[in-house]
A and B are shown apart, each in its own frame.
Chain A
Amino acid sequence: MEPVIEVRGLTARAGTAVLLDAVDLTVAGGEVTALVGPSGSGKTTAALALLGEAAAGVRLSGTVRVVGIPVVDADGPTGAARDVRGRIVSYMPQHPAHALNPARRIGSVLTELARLHRPRGTVGRSAAADLAAEALRTAGLPDDIATRRRFPHQFSGGQRQRVALAQVLAGSPRVLVLDEPSTGLDTVTRMRLAGQLTRLAADGFTVLLLSHDHDLVRAVAARTVLLDRGRVSAAGRTRDVLPAAPRPVSSTPPAPVTPASETVLYARGLTAWLRPGRQGEILHEVTVRVPEAGCTAVVGPSGSGKTVLARCLAGLHERHRGHVMFRGEPLPVLRHRTVRQIRGVQYVWQEVRNSFDERRTVLEQVARTAVRLRGLSAPQAERRARQVWERLGLTTEHATRHAGAQSGGELQRAALARALLAEPDVLICDEITTALDTVSTELVTAELTRLREESDTAVLWIGHDLALVEQLADDLVVLDAGSVVDSGDSRTVLTSPRSETTRLLLRARHLGPVPAMSSEPAPTDVQ
């Protein structure tokens, strides 16, 4: 079969740096081909070359042919590249939500794109609307008029990704280039994405998948090209290029079963709203209990209300109703808490970069907790901060830097240290390992286990990595769409799930764990 995309000796130079070095790539029609490599390996540069596009200051050479049309030749992009964009090859960027025009209804953009690549006059207004509706259906969204009249900001994060996909599909291209589509997805959504990619290929689309998520690639791609620092290091059938890694047997000892002890934090009948005036109910009658020295995990797909629950308990989300008790006493919202209560319940969240002040060093900010909540002097606090700091695998060198100069993983641990300095009774951890590699994750879990054993600290763990949850948690609460759908002893819940959501989460796990972002050499950009 004639290859749809043929790349021979593609080279990209920026000044003296070589971004791509004689890359060869062949993409056959009607199947998924994966271009795999860590970030910085040149995946995006190669993908944009298929559109005849290069970033400012980057020179392309070699040959790129798309369905026989030369897009790049020895002198760089050709004039014919313009006819390829959107009509034959469509590219979906890594953060698709940014690709949606905030000022326009999605339907009008889809209709515009649908008419754009068809000969003038052949597509009337109603025919274009039908094409737009079809693109929405293919992307997995409802196609009614109400949906088409919405603005991008009226969709949830996951839906926005599908709207971006619909835009890419609207011009009926033959080739789809998807840049890291699984970034930031929870396991269930990631599983759905895998299904969708397979369906797209079955529908006749040629798909080029750019990813560093090996499990996803193994699940969907027929052929794989490995890219390493601008060179092709391997190419062939996926199962030859990326042999399945032996699945690590859950060798970690089961979580220490703590005897039924006093409940530290207890939330009963918690209902929360997003907007004022009890509009947009996001949690419905949720009950969670965290015993002393215990660990309760909350899992669920994104948008299920996990973070709102954590923020309610931390006292940051004030639009809620229900009972929150801390050591038998009602716990008010944060601004009405006593110092004892603030110190007792500490919260670490996922997106920490913006929570550090750019004007002070990170260590200085971390140490403030001990000054304010434990009454230590500034030097004492700094000494304590350095101790915690080192146990989490951060060096002294990190201490004197500002937040802007640190990677996402370093800041996540710094935020944990900031909370730990309060020596809390309950620590609420909201997806605090997303930016950590395996080694750092182990350091963090070891520190939490140590605190539970030595200081009787209780942990409320929020995450979607079930392997980690299994290892840490005694109790498990499964949230879906704001309601508790499953709860109880974590082992019982995971071995005999009672709800569809839990079964889905367990099934999604077999796509493998979400790869740690820090396996890349470059510091991760959280934004």
Chain B
Amino acid sequence: MLRYTLRRCGWTVVQLGALSVIVFLLTDLLPGDAATVDFNEQAGLDQVARLREQMGLDRPLAERFADWAHGLLTGDLGTSLVGGGPVSEVLSSSVGVTAALAAMTILFLVPLAVAVGLLTGLRADSRTDRVISAVTLTLTSVPDFVLALLLVGLFALRLGWLPSTWVGADDVWWQRPELFVLPLTVLLARTVCVLSRQIRAGTITALHAGYTVQARRLGVPPARLLLWHVLPNAAAPGVQELARTGDQLLGGVLVIEAVFAVPGTATALVEAVQNRDVPTVQALTLALAAVACLLNLAADLVGQRLAPRTEVLR
């Protein structure tokens, strides 16, 4: 287990290194840069060129990458081409609300998914199971943004129960819990469904496994049986799915922040992409990718503990 953990962590470091290269190259491929976006209307070609020189955009790719990577390692994320301030400021001012949103989603996601998964798994093929399974299958098939539109339409615009946008709540968002209700519902809807379906399948397998039957024969009472003998095995496929959910969650946050005008990292990123603010795009993309990477790591380590047999084949 320790060896696996070390190897897996080492691999994550390699992954992060490679990610930085990929992110840098990808953003570098963006045609046009801040100089052209800002000035192509009013400025002549030589003015653009002068600006490019000023921004250091005319130097060779490798040199710029070395500079950028060196900056990353020393904690300097670069300077925003649009605002002129350091990118770390953009990140720190937006990361709080996004982190809060993601953390709350995961906080609700795990117990909800486990509860729904266990309930449907225990009563597999009953009416309850069929109804819930049909609902979860349908919900997994509804895109986040559609669900967001429908819920906003119903609860915010029609009924007026909940706010439809975060505009005007810039600095006091943590004092207004009602702001979180709709975004969280949308974020949870799909992820809970996907995850609970995995846990349902795992529960059914574990319930019929020899070790569960034997534990019951040895007199382990039902509640204990479920929590200590069935769940650790039933959760294994779910945890692996959780890693993939991380990706969905990031995508979901992006959509949610756009729909509800949440002043978070994803909004900042979308803005930066539209403005060709390359240093900001690079830093934010890398930050989000690193989070996904670490989520993967955590899921793999927990999964390894839950299902220790699934060591790599060769």
- Hey, which bits of chain A sit against chain B, CB under 8 A? 51, 53, 82, 85-87, 90-91, 93, 95, 98-104, 112-113, 116-117, 151, 153, 164, 167-168, 171, 276
* CB <8 Å contact, A101 and B218: no
Partner of A99, one of B210, B233, B314: B210
Q: Is the CB of A103 within 8 A of B307?
A: yes
A102 contacts B215, CB within 8 Å? Answer: no
- Write out the residue numbers on chain B whose beta carbons fall within 8 Å of the beta carbon of A100: 211
Which residues of the other chain, B, contact A104 by a CB distance below 8 angstroms? 228-229, 232
- List 5 A–B pairs whose Cβ atoms lie within 8 Å, in order of A's numbering: A91-B217, A103-B308, A117-B219, A151-B308, A171-B219
Chain B residues positioned under 8 Å from A164 (CB to CB): 214
Q: Which 9 A-B pairs have the closest CB atoms?
A: A86-B219, A98-B210, A86-B218, A99-B214, A85-B219, A103-B232, A101-B211, A153-B309, A151-B308
Determine whether the beta carbon of B217 is less than 8 Å from that of A85.
yes
Nearest chain A residue, comparing its CB with the CB of B1: A151
The residue on A at minimum CB distance from B217 is A91
Cβ contacts under 8 Å, B309 to chain A: 102, 151, 153
Q: How far is the CB of B31 from chain A (nearest CB, A)?
A: 47
Question: Closest CB-CB distance, B142 to chain A, in whole Å?
Answer: 34
Residues of A with C-beta under 8 A to B236: 103
17 further interface pairs, Cβ-Cβ under 8 Å (given A86-B220, A104-B228): A82-B219, A86-B218, A90-B217, A91-B214, A91-B217, A93-B213, A98-B210, A99-B213, A101-B211, A101-B215, A102-B233, A102-B307, A102-B309, A104-B229, A113-B218, A151-B308, A151-B309
- Which residues of B in the span 266-314 have a Cβ within 8 Å of any Cβ on A? 306-309, 314
- The answer on a CB contact under 8 Å between A103 and B233 is yes
What B residues does A91 contact at CB under 8 A?
A: 214, 217
Nearest-CB residue, chain B, relative to A84: B219
**B150 part of interface (Cβ distance < 8 Å):** no
Residues from chain B with a CB closer than 8 A to the CB of A101 are 211, 215, 229, 232-233
Is A51's CB under 8 angstroms from B209's CB?
no
Q: Give per-residue flags for B184-224: 1 if the beta carbon is below 8 A from chain A beta carbons, else 0.
A: 00000000000000000000000001110111111110001
A116 to B309 Cα, complex, angstroms? 27
Whether B219 pairs with A53 at a CB distance below 8 angstroms is no
Residues of A within 8 A of B214 (CB): 91, 93, 99, 164, 167
Binary flags per residue of B222-248, CB closer than 8 Å to A gives 1, else 0: 001000110011001000000000000
Which residue on chain A has the smallest CB distance to residue B229?
Answer: A101
| Interface residue from B211, B228, B232, B233 paired with A112 (Cβ < 8 Å) | B228
A104-B232, A153-B308 known; A98 and B218 CB under 8 Å? no
Whether A86 contacts B217 in the complex (CB less than 8 A), given A95-B210, A101-B229, comes out as yes
Contact A168 B232 (CB under 8 A): no
In the bound complex, CA of A484 to CA of B213 (Å): 42
CA distance A185 to B309 in the complex (A): 24
Q: Shortest distance in angstroms between A131's beta carbon and chain B's nearest beta carbon?
A: 14
A-chain residues with CB within 8 Å of residue B218 when the two chains form the complex: 85-86, 90, 113, 116, 167-168, 171
Least Cβ distance of A215 to chain B in Å?
27
Closest-CB distance, A469 to chain B (whole angstroms): 34
Q: Nearest Cβ distance between residue A104 and chain B, in whole angstroms?
A: 6
> How far, in Å, is B252 (CB) from chain A's closest CB?
30
Whether A53 contacts B217 by the Cβ 8 Å rule is yes
Residues from chain A with Cβ under 8 Å of B307 in the complex: 102-103
The A-contacting residues of B in range 129-155, CB under 8 angstroms, are none
Which residue of chain A is the closest to B220 with respect to CB atoms?
Answer: A116
* With contact pairs A99-B214, A103-B233, A103-B307 given, residues A116 and B219 touching in the complex (Cβ less than 8 Å): yes
Report the bound CA distance from A78 to B295 in whole Å: 50
Residues on A with beta carbons closer than 8 Å to the beta carbon of B220: 86, 112-113, 116
Contacts of B228 in A (CB 8 A): 104, 112
- A153 to B224 Cα, complex, angstroms: 23
Complex: how many Å from CA A502 to CA B309? Answer: 35
State the Cβ distance, B233 to closest chain A Cβ, in Å: 5
On chain A, the residues within 8 Å of B213 by CB distance are 93, 99
- Chain B residue at minimal CB-CB distance from A150: B308
Residue of A nearest to B309 (CB): A153
Nearest-Cβ distance from residue A282 to partner chain B, whole angstroms: 17
Query: Could you tell me if B211 and A102 are in contact, using CB atoms closer than 8 angstroms?
Result: yes
Tell me the bound Cα distance from A103 to B214 in angstroms: 15
Min C-beta distance of B237 to chain A, whole Å: 12
Hey, which chain A residues are within 8 Å of B219, CB to CB? 82, 85-87, 116-117, 171
- Closest residue of chain A to B306 (Cβ to Cβ) is A103
Complex Cα–Cα for A95 and B214 (A) = 11
Once bound together, how far apart are the Cα atoms of A87 and B309, in whole Å? 31
Cβ–Cβ contact A276 & B210, under 8 A = no
Smallest CB–CB gap between A165 and chain B, Å?
12
**CB closest chain-A residue, reference B230:** A101
Instruction: Provide the residues of chain A in CB contact with B224, threshold 8 Å.
Output: 112, 116
Q: Which residue of A lies closest to B231 (CB)?
A: A103
What is the CA–CA distance of A85 and B218 in the complex, to the nearest angstrom?
5
For the complex formed, measure the closest distance between the CB of B79 and the CB atoms of chain A, giving whole angstroms. Answer: 48
- Alpha-carbon distance between A385 and B286 when the two chains are bound, in angstroms: 64
A150 to chain B, nearest CB (A): 10
> Which partner residue on chain B sits nearest A92 by CB separation?
B214
Minimum CB–CB distance for A513 against chain B, Å: 29
Contacts of A93 in B (CB 8 A): 210, 213-214
Please, which residue of chain B has its CB at the minimum distance from the CB of A108?
B228
Q: How far is the CB of A115 from chain B (nearest CB, A)?
A: 11
Given contacts A53-B217, A171-B218, A171-B219, contact A102 B308 (CB under 8 A): yes
| Complex: A426 Cα to B219 Cα, angstroms | 54
Closest approach, in angstroms, between the C-beta of B235 and any C-beta of chain A?
9
Contacts of A87 in B (CB 8 A): 219
B156 to chain A, nearest CB (A): 44
The residue that B211 contacts in the complex, of A82, A98, A171, with Cβ under 8 A, is A98
**Shortest beta-carbon distance, A40 to chain B, in Å?**
20
